[in-house]
Structure 1
Amino acid sequence: MGLRTQDRVSTAARKTVAAGPAAGDRLPTPPRERRPALAALAALLVLAGALGATVLVMRAGDRVEAIQITERVPAGSRIPESAISSVLVAEDSSVNYVLWSQREQVLGELRAGADLVAGSVLVGEMLSGEEALAADEVVVGVSLQPGQYPSGLEAGDTVAAYWVGDDAPPGSDGSEAEASTEPGAPVTDAVIAERATVATIHSSDESTGNSALPVTLRVHTDHVAALTRAAAQGEVSLVIVGSSGE
């Protein structure tokens, strides 16, 4: 009996050893080694990636409102308002876009430096501030009072210049030109220049009490002397006429 009891005890001990320690008797595992430097680097990489993505999205969304040509404009011509519209384009510092906010300057002062085709986005290199004068043309400035020019007069208009004094108009040679009216009657139909082109119009300064409208004309050299003398006396009136092709 004692031998059998000893054998059972030995067998139970072996089973206990084979089964390992009880759940509450497990050996403690060594703690994991924390690396704060690697954790900080990972956080920085994530942050940098997020910032980079944000910048790309913002740059992709940067737009400027530029001028687009909607109809053909011949070289040397003024650009009419009907030939432009606004368009959003990607901002690019290497491209000299003409912005929509600059349209007043484009319409009032500049000309097409080359043929402009519909659909093209306007850049500064396409424009010119000057129009070449013909060999027989000169530029003359006149100062007009209300009543001496039609309303709606614009740069680019073709006009006729009339002398509106009470005496005979000055001739190109300095002499008095013959008037077709009877003596003492105002001369209102003496043409100084049958065709001239309005180059520019400057705003009158009414704040100083001066309501005169300064206008620059392109005229044939044959009319310069008479036009400048009449302009000096304030006796010039402009009438809009049709262009050569009309």
Structure 2
Amino acid sequence: MKIQERTGAGNHRSAAPVQPAMGERLPAPPRERKPALAALAVLLILVGALGATMLVLRAGDRIEVIQVTDDIQAGQSVGNHVKSVMVADDSGVNYIKWTQVNALKKLKAKSTIYGGTLVIGEMFEARQSVPAGKASVGLALKEGQYPAGIKAGDTVAVYRVGDSGTTGSSSSTTGTSDTLLVDQANVTFVKTASDSTISSTNLPVTLTVDSADAAAVTQASAAGEVALVLIPGN
């Protein structure tokens, strides 16, 4: 009888909410999603990846161009004083490509081009321009008629050597040995061994002189009686 009473009493007991045990966390509310921020983050990642790709592509877009290895004087051809180098392609620069090197050798420098310079089209022209009042004279000199190491860009004095002299406008002296024909002439070209496969005992040299002196220098050269002397300042 007591068992039944206890049981009945238990059935009428009210159900109390179960409290969480100590140390347990309450379930967190779901976070609010922000799709705009997520899209912006993805966009920034894509832009960064695209920029890196463009840099890699630009670095790989290179062309083979011409660089001079020695000083090239005005009116002189590059000859074999060139080498190929790789540079980044730039449509704003008129580079001469290595495939055009043979055509470049037929052109003349407009002004002095220093060794190590990358060649661009504006540096050269088809013909050497001679200033007004000047003349370009070609000489074929034997050893002893020119100083060692003579090169384009040097300034020389021109003498007629031998038993007889001829008149030059720069000296006003005739009929004497070692006559000064030109006191200052500009060396515009000196042929080197690499410029031709034809061997010769003479050294081809081109001078720019006053027009009035050209005939005297040409006559002395034809007679084999011309000599060049480097003057101070070279």
Query: TM class by shorter-chain length?
Result: 0.5 to 0.7
Indicate the SS of the match to 1:230.
Answer: helix
**1:111-122 alignment to 2 at 5 Å?**
111-112=109-110, 122=119
In the alignment, the residues of structure 1 paired with residue 230 and residue 102 of structure 2 have an alpha-carbon distance, to the nearest angstrom, of 23
Runs of 4+ aligned residues of structure 1 deviating over 4 Å after TM superposition are 56-60, 65-69, 76-80, 84-88, 92-95, 99-109, 204-209
**1:66-81 alignment to 2 at 5 Å?**
66=65
Kept in 2: contact 1:108–1:155 (CA 8 A): no
1:239 to 215, 229, 233: 229
What is the CA RMSD across the aligned residues, in angstroms?
A: 4.8
**1:50-65 alignment to 2 at 5 Å?**
60-65=59-64
- One-letter amino acid of the structure 1 residue matched with residue 190 of structure 2: I
**1:121-160 alignment to 2 at 5 Å?**
122-160=119-157
Q: Which runs of 5+ in 2 are unaligned?
A: 1-52
**Deviation of 1:79 (Å):** 11
- One-letter amino acid of the structure 2 residue matched with residue 199 of structure 1: T
In the alignment, the residues of structure 2 paired with residue 104 and residue 151 of structure 1 have an alpha-carbon distance, to the nearest angstrom, of 29
* C-alpha spacing 1:128/1:213, structure 2 compared with 1 (3 Å): same
Structure whose residues are more often helix by fraction? 1
Aligned position for 2:185: 196
* C-alpha spacing 1:168/1:148, structure 2 compared with 1 (3 Å): same
Kept in 1: contact 2:190–2:206 (CA 8 A): yes
- One-letter amino acid of the structure 1 residue matched with residue 165 of structure 2: P
In the alignment, the residues of structure 1 paired with residue 122 and residue 157 of structure 2 have an alpha-carbon distance, to the nearest angstrom, of 34
Indicate the SS of the match to 2:182.
Answer: strand
**Deviation of 1:208 (Å):** 6.5
**1:85-124 alignment to 2 at 5 Å?**
88-91=86-89, 96-98=94-96, 110-112=108-110, 122-124=119-121
Kept in 2: contact 1:162–1:189 (CA 8 A): yes
**Deviation of 1:107 (Å):** 10
State percent identity of aligned pairs: 38
**Deviation of 1:221 (Å):** 1.6
- One-letter amino acid of the structure 1 residue matched with residue 204 of structure 2: P
* C-alpha spacing 1:101/1:161, structure 2 compared with 1 (3 Å): farther
Q: Which runs of 5+ in 1 are unaligned?
A: 1-53, 181-187
**Deviation of 1:67 (Å):** 5.9
Total equivalences in the alignment: 169
In the alignment, the residues of structure 1 paired with residue 141 and residue 208 of structure 2 have an alpha-carbon distance, to the nearest angstrom, of 16
